[in-house]
Structure 1
């Protein structure tokens, strides 16, 4: 549903469009709709968007977007990312939102779930499925 002045669509540069699509399909199960040889759109991933072919690429080190994914099984997700040639830029646990002067143990297994940030592909190697 479109909402006034809320993010609606995001686009990322991809040096190798086919490798980028292969990676996101293998790791996260994304499906793409191609709009010619230089653009591929995705939807139903929390935010719709697309990748466009470019000599530039989305690197966080150069100020590019950081893609953060939630995972209920972080070890399995990390393994899929690495097997498929991705790079995990950061991995962290979401805060428990409990305030205390001393450490507090999480009360729910849901808090033990992690999110990971994955770097988009920018080099010229092929990626395994």
Structure 2
């Protein structure tokens, strides 16, 4: 029962976090952000397995489950009050920033095409 609940919440977390990451990341940085997240999450997994194995070897398997539950509870408890404000601020920032549909290069400067079709010159 606990494993099914853990699997369900993990699935929900993955979908929500990936969706919000894609929603609030500027298109020009999306590949970097998603790749960095993937590298960190997959790269740290072996370290977590090593730490869990060391705890299990010294304190028993029950201690691993209790520590894991404690960490997840602390993260959820700390994240819950911050999440609505953070998403609200991100939504407000998105409404004040012009959405970028694509970037076209000209000979002298970059031209940014906004969603409304207007061209915007970028001096860089």
**Same fold at TM > 0.5:** no
Q: Normalised by the size of structure 2, how large is the TM-score? A: 0.21
Kindly indicate which of the two structures has a greater share of residues assigned to strand: 1
Q: TM-score, normalised by structure 1?
A: 0.21
Name the structure, 1 or 2, with higher relative contact order (CA <8 Å, separation 6+): 1
